[in-house]
Amino acid sequence: MASDGLYPSRSPNSSRKPPSKGPAVPAFKSIRSLPVQFRFMEPQASQPLEVAEHANDGFSENGILEEDGEATVEVVDQVNDDSPYGRNVQVEERSPGDHLYSVASPLPSTPASLVESKWSDTASYAKKKNLHCWYQLQNGDWELVKILSTSGTDLIVSLPEGKVLKVLADCLLPANPDILDGVDDLMQLSYLNEPSVLYNLQYRYNKNMIYTKAGPVLVAINPFKRVGLYGNDYIESYKHKSIESPHVYAIADTALREMRRDEVNQSIIISGESGAGKTETAKIAMQYLAALGGGSGIEYEILKTNPILEAFGNAKTLRNDNSSRFGKLIEIHFSETGKISGARIQTFLLEKSRVVQCAEGERSYHIFYQLCAGAPPVVREKLNLKSVEEYKYLCGSNCYTISGVDDAEQFLNVMEALDVVHVRKDDQQSAFAMVAAVLWLGNVSFVVTDNENHVEPVVDEALLSVAGLIGCSVEALQLALSTRNMKVGNDNIVQKLTLSQAIDTRDALAKSIYSCLFDWLVEQINKSLSVGKRRTGRSISILDIYGFESFERNSFEQFCINYANERLQQHFNRHLFKLEQEEYIQDGIDWARVEFEDNQDCLNLFEKKPLGLLSLLDEESTFPNATDLTFAHKLTQHLKLNPSFRGERDKAFGVCHYAGQVTYDTTGFLEKNRDLLHLDSIQLLSSCSASLPQIFASSMLTQSEKHIVGPLHKSGGAESQKLSVATKFKGQLFQLMQRLENTTPHFIRCIKPNDIQSPGIYEQALVLHQLRCCGVLEVVRISRSGFPTRMSHQKFARRYGFLLLDDVASQDPLSVSVAILHQFQILPEMYQVGYTKLFFRTGQIGMLEDTRNRTLHGILRVQSCFRGYQARGYLQELKKGISTLQSFIRGEKTRKEFAVLLQRHRAAIVIQKHIKGKITRKRCEKVMEASVVLQAVIRGWLVRKCSGNIGLLNLVERKANESDDVLVKATYLAELQRRVLKAEAGLRQKEEENEILQQRLRQYENRWSEYELKMKSMEEVWQKQMRSLQSSLSLAKKSLDVDDLGRDSDASVTASGGDGKEYSGGDTSSTTTTTMFKSRHHESNSNGAVRSMSASLSIIGRLAEEFEQRRQVFGDDAKFLVEVKSGQAEASLNPDRELRRLKQLFESWKKDYSTRLRETKLILHKLDSEDTTTTATTAEKVVRKKWWGRKNSSRLPDKLTSS
């Protein structure tokens, strides 16, 4: 199966006229796939295509095709009120006697028998010796036998166990060779018959290969065990197409790819009997979509909805341990990037009767058992929970557990899932309280109070628990369960209920509470998964709905479930049989019609008005005195002639469904269809203090206000009538079909291999019955001989036209399409060309799609390289601009910072000068004070010395005996003298140091003043140079932008560059050197610049003069031709031809002028670049000279100072 849109959405009212023929007609010699006798005519004033030989042949106005001498097929549009598809295309037969237009291509006649046409693709099989064939045993199973000998129509065959039989040749069917055992697509079988299909499925099933393709349909056989075909590794493999074997992942991947490619919503329809594995298959498909479209986190929430819906909507039945007792459609929305953006869940017909009663060996809904087994102690005490054996609603079936399932663990999963989908803890506790209230309602008992069998509820633990859980008073609950308020005229009458009426009221209240709780949970999930503003219109819908059911006793629930399956089977037939073959016929494709089992008669039995099953059921439900027996008699009376209806005795009737006949017991049909909940119970819920019962009451009141509309109301229904369950279910089913009709469907047929749900057991009869019911064999037949891929001429040409080597822009889409087919050498037997579409066999479009993808990938690579080149060039220019801007900004910033730093430096020097002066003065004062003290001491000593010597001379004689004392005084005087001399030397040293410091201070001050002068001169020189460079840069840019003014700008740049001698500062030698260098350079280059400038100006002048002359000439000629064409001037010439000739002359001159203009630009740019290079080199040398001159001149004073 190709991954390229097998069944695009199509309308039955497609165009029935052949497309008109374009001017270019391709050669059709090698095309054998055109419609029969389809031919092109030569173009004569846009003549349309013709079919056959007559002008009036082809399709008539009402779309009828006829062939001579045989019954023909008529495609007519009918408006059917009982169909969800609106205008239906129905195939009717006409006799050859009708006067209709004839078509030269006769349609194939209807086969003589269904059996002959069913396997008409099986080649003639010679019953030869030693060949294997299939032989059907008496028990219905097929055995592979070996032909030992042949004798006319009789054959001798041997069974596998060695037994030899003599059989007729017609009793054998050919077997496929061993090399085809276990093929993954039934279309690959050489001999397509029932035993070959059964054997192939069984072969794969025994090897745990449970998925097999049947054309566009995936067949999935329930293994009843875990198989290693799932997980992240398999998801990655199917995502990257490294595995091509059939799988649910492959179907989901195809749907996702087609949604992205075609921008059309997709649907995955999973069908099969109860226990075939539909729910698990839907979960696997959701797992793959969540893995590929994940990333936002909402995919985890979508997956977590499964435990919640299974707990509250699934139950154990005799055929399935996890049977869905409701239908659901999960619509997963995707963003424009292919990621999941949200989801929405729609549910259908919850089986409410299972809440109050279950068959023997079955269970009620899983949540009841999970809550009792896994509730935490706090919740258990709050809800007053008991074991499941103590609740009457659960103990009636004597089944409490499921083998291999832990209800306590499942309850933890449910609580985790509720947290994931953002259900608040308070709401979770309220929901569990409603579940417990339903369980306790089943334990409410009644006691008879009088002789008329009137009852009232017993005030016991059950009644008190219910009142406490829903938040109402015990008295109000007693009145609601035992009485009924009736309004007669203006009076309100309170009627006491009998025991049976009270039990029905109790059960109705329990069913309504649980049903409203289920709807409320679905609403909370939808709020959590809502798309909102992220909605893009792209979605994949997964339909998981209850399978076909047939039990020993079938009630109203099985009636509705099987009706839904009939409608889904019709949708399956419509897309894979009816629309396929009708489209082939309408488009004139050479096609042999395939017969299939149509269930339209059974649908008419259900939906026909006014004598259909649903109409009669609603009509009988409106009669107060009607009973189930009268309903059964009415069905037998009105429908006994219908071939799909079987009348039975008493309250039973039978319906021939597509999957077999089912007998229904009408007991409870009317009551379940009415589904009445009296106003007293609704008022009880609205008066409760708990929030959920109030929400339930409001919801039920809203639904009760919806009156019956449509045919039932028109047929005389009273305005006060309410919608019945069957009518509401039919409306939901029609809406579902309309939604699926707007999507591209992908079908998965689930097969149950045995009824005991045991792995490894393959019952041929059961599997064959399911294959026949779902039409898998006919699907393979159509897929083998049909064209699953189709595309309109326009779309095909638009999608693949760019792959053609020749230019076909002016041709019509059909010619372009045929040219594409010729170029890629697609075999004629692998496609057919219809009136409006091209039809391809399986896999043919894949080659074109691969070539298209490779070509687009190459184009994208070229575009990416070119765009990258452009982006890099733009980035380089942007970087240059940014660098220039940054240099200016950083320069300005540096100058500002330098000015601030210079100011701070000057301030610091001033502060240092004052501080150092103050310190020096203080030190000098101290030295002076010390010098004064020392001088005073020395002077005093000198005075005392002189006076002391005179006294000593006078006393020599008188004190000769005191010689020792004189010697001591002399020693003291010598020491003092030494100290005085040392002090004088120190004083002289300090004075010298002070004088040196003062000299250094004066030198520093002189040097700093010189530095300040130099800094000021350097700053002025830098500012002048910056202004000169900026003016030179602006003039250079102007010279590059304007070609004709470039030389003047260069002259101005040169002139401004000469002003650079003003920026030499105070350095006289540098200024003189720069001026001499510039004058010599100017003299050497002035002659060349003048010559190049004059040559450039002359070239530009000549080009401008030629342009003005030519513009004037062409303008005058064009104006004259316009005047001649409008009649304002007379001339003997054809204005249109002359205008074309003038246009050609103008184009040729324009091309030549553009070439010369480009060459002139290149020459001017070359001259400009040479002048600019020379000027820049000279300027750089001058600047470098001035810079080094200034630098050397600034270094000279430093050297002198340091020396």
CA 770/CA 1069 separation, integer angstroms: 112
Judged on CB neighbours under 10 Å (0-12, 13-18, 19+), 881 is exposed
Is residue 615 within 8 Å of 626, Cβ to Cβ?
no
Question: What DSSP assignment string belongs to 757-770?
Answer: --TT---HHHHHHH
Cα dihedral 664, 668, 670, 676 sign: negative
Look up 362 and say whether it is catalytic.
Answer: no
Is residue 565 within 8 Å of 532, Cβ to Cβ?
no
Is residue 619 within 8 Å of 673, Cβ to Cβ?
no
> Could you tell me the two tokens for 931?
């010098």
Look up 783 and say whether it is catalytic.
Answer: no
Is residue 820 within 8 Å of 797, Cβ to Cβ?
yes
Query: What is the separation of C-alpha 455 from the centre of its chain, rounded to a whole number of angstroms?
Result: 61
Catalytic residue among 33, 193, 271, 324: 324
Distances (CA, A) of 1041 to 210, 1038, 1047, 1049: 75, 5, 12, 11
Q: Beta-strand (E) ranges in 508-587?
A: 538-544
Task: Select from 557, 563, 564 the least CA-distant residue to 669.
Answer: 557
Catalytic residue among 193, 265, 279, 512: 279
Is residue 792 within 8 Å of 9, Cβ to Cβ?
no
> Residue 948, CB half-sphere, CA atoms under 13 Å: how many?
10
Residue 96: asked if its preceding bond is cis (omega within 30°), the reply is no
Catalytic residue among 83, 323, 341, 413: 323
Look up 727 and say whether it is catalytic.
Answer: no
Cα dihedral 696, 697, 700, 702 sign: negative
Is residue 832 within 8 Å of 821, Cβ to Cβ?
no
Distances (CA, A) of 872 to 877, 953, 1094: 9, 114, 38
Catalytic residue among 265, 267, 271, 274: 274
Look up 320 and say whether it is catalytic.
Answer: yes
Look up 1039 and say whether it is catalytic.
Answer: no
Cα dihedral 276, 280, 286, 291 sign: negative
Catalytic residue among 275, 327, 342, 468: 275
The strand pair at 327-334 and 538-544 is best described as: antiparallel
> Residue 103, CB half-sphere, CA atoms under 13 Å: how many?
27
Look up 986 and say whether it is catalytic.
Answer: no
Task: Select from 282, 257, 254, 259 the least CA-distant residue to 269.
Answer: 282
CA 214/CA 879 separation, integer angstroms: 62
Distances (CA, A) of 1193 to 15, 171, 1065, 1199: 97, 123, 11, 10
* Helix 499-528 and helix 691-704, axial crossing angle in degrees, nearest 10: 100
Look up 387 and say whether it is catalytic.
Answer: no
Distances (CA, A) of 902 to 11, 126, 892, 907, 1019: 87, 114, 15, 9, 11
Distances (CA, A) of 1156 to 1041, 1106, 1159: 19, 12, 5
Hey, how many other C-beta atoms are within 10 angstroms of the C-beta on 707?
13
3-state secondary structure of 391: coil
All residues at 6 or more sequence positions from 673 whose CB lies less than 8 Å from its CB, including other chains: 556, 617, 618, 621, 724, 725, 726
Catalytic residue among 317, 320, 539, 783: 320
CA 877/CA 871 separation, integer angstroms: 10
Look up 1088 and say whether it is catalytic.
Answer: no
Q: Across the strands, what pairs with 211? A: 220
Distances (CA, A) of 1027 to 306, 894, 1048, 1185, 1187: 78, 16, 20, 18, 16
Question: Given its phi and psi angles, is residue 38 left (phi above 0), alpha (psi -120 to 50 degrees) or beta?
Answer: beta
Distances (CA, A) of 975 to 536, 939, 979, 982: 116, 16, 6, 11
Residues classed as catalytic = 274-275, 279, 320, 323-324, 547, 549
